[in-house]
Homo-oligomer: A and B are copies of this chain.
């Protein structure tokens, strides 16, 4: 009558013997937390590092430089991967999963790019792979998408998922220019010395790919996602935002369309004061979820950095000690309709003097502004047509989503038939 008590055992934690790769700030933080939390029933047996001569704040008997030794140790049932080297991380994670070990990683790029293979390895060899830290750091979004929000009910998610760019944009909103804001972010450790993964929106696209997998069971290569970073934002865009009382945020957005498919993209977005993301500043992340029953929910917290990452990794370790694995319910259910670019966006397109930008791709033009130093068009366009325009990747053109619920100024709204008259310049070719 009652269910078999298969999960009663989940109230008794399994013992985890951990092999840790990497002992940077996050790795060291995790070591310390585990020392302080005997209740977790998890112990680090071996830590694999690159440089054996660097002084370490842990007993030297723990360290090795021999990855194979760690990966072949029959005592170790959990591998925690926290290293910078992408190729090495890939080898470690796949080899650990292939031997049936559980794996925790925060490496969004690795996971997003190899998701199909990583899913298969879990299924074939039985290990559980958790990566909560890979998306929005300390915000428990993946597990909540997996466990709490049911597939058919989730309409949309939209969020600031990259702390580096949000820090830069927060400084720019205060008046700093891009170069100055980037420099500050790098000095504070919020941005890498090569910031392109962040500022070009690649990191956000990786995270969006993971969100899509857990929210709707859609597995997509991150490079297939429509994506624009923050490097194209122009001083005129900031002036426009200030004039309107808006902020600019780099957002990852996904919306379930009427046909069951999902429209997804990474794009800068104007955010007005009433929107939950308006208050997400500096290195913080924030996510708005919309579902049929729960309506709009908002989660925010620190998206990256030593402690937030350690927090999510420790939480994954704790979940593993209770036998947790992502059920990939939506992937199994096969209800995900895949991605589609056939959805409409309200956008602001800014362009510089002499740039060839056209309004003809728009379904509806709301307003146009032109001056000697360039101008902008606001209007409605489909993602498919945006992607196909000649100016979408033009270095002198910015594309920014208009605020949610943006009301087009009626007087300047022009129907499609009149668009020709409003052309600023013909699209190239």
Residues of A within 8 A of B (CB): 1-11, 14, 16, 29, 33, 36-37, 39-40, 74-77, 99-102, 125-128, 137-140, 143-144, 147-153, 276, 279, 291-302, 307-308, 310-312, 314-315, 318-320, 322-325, 327-329, 332-333, 335
Q: Give 15 CB contacts A-B under 8 Å.
A: A2-B127, A6-B323, A7-B7, A10-B327, A11-B325, A11-B328, A11-B332, A37-B150, A138-B293, A139-B297, A294-B302, A294-B308, A297-B299, A297-B301, A298-B301
Additional A-B contacts beyond A138-B294, A153-B311 (13; CB < 8 A): A2-B100, A2-B102, A4-B14, A10-B327, A11-B328, A39-B151, A137-B294, A140-B144, A292-B307, A293-B308, A294-B308, A296-B301, A298-B300
CA A8 to CA B125, docked complex, whole Å? 11
Q: Kindly list chain B residues whose C-beta atoms are within 8 Å of the C-beta of A138.
A: 293-295, 297
CA distance A149 to B301 in the complex (A): 13
Tell me the complex Cα distance, A320–B4, Å: 12
Q: B322 touching A294 by the CB < 8 A rule? A: no
Which residues of B are found within 8 Å of A319, using beta-carbon distances?
A: 147
**Which one, B36, B143, B323, contacts A3 given CB within 8 A?**
B323
The answer, among B2, B33, B150, for a CB contact under 8 Å with A293, is B33
User: Contacts A6-B9, A307-B295; is A148 near B152 (CB within 8 Å)?
Assistant: no
Given contacts A143-B147, A295-B302, contact A327 B322 (CB under 8 A): yes
Residue of B nearest to A275 (CB): B279
